[in-house]
Chain A
């Protein structure tokens, strides 16, 4: 296997896994919060928030990447603020790749979490409140364990989406080997040159294996979580 992929491809694979892992981790708390708000709260602008969350699903990825560049780039409103105040640079860094992948994967994660939260009976949360538990504790001890299967499914979906993200990533953080060159970038590069199909295909196989592995793992985890809830 180590001969099958060159060092640059190994690097791209490792970086993809790394970026996707952190993208999933980063979007998880925000995803849970926004999914909860959408599922449970009534507030002004709920529909607008819903549309905003789903925007990366509808917009061409290149446009999402471009908007990221405008806001989180060195010259962008948030990007320059981050740099001036914290010295944080996202553009052309793996951190930027994480942000791009997280934003692209976010709608999938929120959708899956929202469904899971809507399936939790609010009456159980009420019951916990009558037993003296404050809201956050209720969330951690009742809601969260009950949405665990949905949370796992959403995370894996987000991870898989992040693994495959290309358009927004290359537009926002371009393609720098070892920093931002992910698996899809490498596949894209191979497809641009005549005769690159073979190499591209090998990377596609690797992608498929990783994605299927993740899906199978999530199936197994989700089933275990469901069994834990059902108990008996």
Chain B
């Protein structure tokens, strides 16, 4: 019981942390706008970096809009390519320095009280496993994890059976939370999210070909403070940093992702 509550408390606190705006001013330290799913890995890396790093985490779309409106970011790491493309078209990023920093995978997770007997394959009977319950996903039209997840389920031919049972959340961590709390027995999240929570079981990974590749592009913001931003990006691209990312469940582009 105590364990149960501390878990919930932890979730509540991390949730509160996610929504707390972390506004920074560009000085000598480098200011990074990064997708929320990168938090644990980036925090660890920033702590080992020589210069101070201020990181503002948020949804990729929110961060991109803030940058469009002149937010003082030096480096942007997005969880999807679409928003990076928008910024590139607007001439807001140093296009030549844009790199694919990381890759990620989608997994089907099951809650603590669920005994999964499922294998992810074309036409697998997810609908029967759900019964009257719900499948937790991020917004399927708006949030990258939801868009990828819907694409994966579609290509596996199970989307039609489960579409009406999908509970969509405004971010992928909230979908994870629904599964952790047992409100939804199954969920579709990133491998990195599943890695972050010991309370959920990974039923299986979605085949890489079942959805568009999940890439995290990174690029310095035009004009602001290019040198320190480039330096930090270079640091993130080192093999040492790569090991840390891998430890948190990310893939590196060189892995053939």
B102 within 8 A of A: no
Q: Is B59 at the interface (CB under 8 A from chain A)?
A: yes
- The verdict on B257 contacting chain A, using a C-beta distance below 8 Å, is no
From A99-107, A131-139, A183-191, A202-210, the one touching the partner chain is A183-191
- Cβ distance B118 to chain A, nearest Cβ, rounded Å: 21
Q: Which residues of B contact A174 (CB under 8 A)?
A: 134, 136, 167-169, 174, 178
Residues A171 and B12 in contact, CB atoms below 8 Å apart: no
Is residue B150 within 8 Å, beta carbon to beta carbon, of the partner chain?
no
Known contacts: A62-B19, A192-B143. The answer to whether A69 contacts B181 by CB under 8 A is yes
Give 1 or 0 for each of A79-101: 1 = CB within 8 Å of chain B CB. Answer: 00000000000011000000000
Q: Would you list which residues of chain A between 172 and 230 have a CB under 8 Å from chain B?
A: 173-176, 181, 188-194, 196
- Known A-B contacts A63-B12, A70-B181, A75-B181; A193 and B167 likewise in contact (beta carbons under 8 Å): no
Say yes or no: A193-B141 contact (C-beta < 8 A), given A70-B8, A170-B170, A174-B169.
Answer: yes
With a 10 A CB-CB cut-off, give which of B59, B86, B142, B169 has the most chain A CB atoms: B142
Verify if A22 is at the interface (C-beta below 8 Å from B).
no
B contacts with A, residue count (CB < 8 A): 33
A66 to B19, CA, bound (A): 13
Once the chains are docked, how many angstroms separate the CA of A69 from the CA of B175? 12
- B15 in complex: contacting residue of A63, A75, A189, CB < 8 Å: A63
B167 CB contact (under 8 Å) in A70, A176, A188: A176
A145 located at the interface, meaning its Cβ lies under 8 Å from any Cβ of chain B in the complex = no
Contact between B139 and A189 (Cβ–Cβ < 8 Å)? yes
Q: Which residue of chain A has the shortest Cβ distance to B137 in the bound complex?
A: A174
What 0/1 readout, one digit per residue, does chain B (133-164) give for beta carbons within 8 Å of chain A? 01010010111000000000000000000001
Residues on A with C-beta less than 8 A from B16 are 60, 62-63
Of B8, B15, B143, B168, chain A has the most CB atoms within 10 Å of the CB of B168
Known: A193-B141, A194-B85. 13 other contacts (CB 8 A): A63-B12, A63-B16, A66-B15, A67-B12, A70-B181, A73-B182, A91-B183, A92-B167, A171-B170, A181-B168, A191-B61, A194-B61, A194-B82
Q: Contact residues of A with B, CB < 8 Å?
A: 60, 62-63, 66-67, 69-70, 73-75, 91-92, 170-171, 173-176, 181, 188-194, 196
The 10 A-B pairs at the shortest CB distance, nearest first, are namely A192-B142, A174-B167, A175-B168, A189-B142, A75-B182, A192-B61, A194-B86, A73-B183, A170-B170, A92-B167
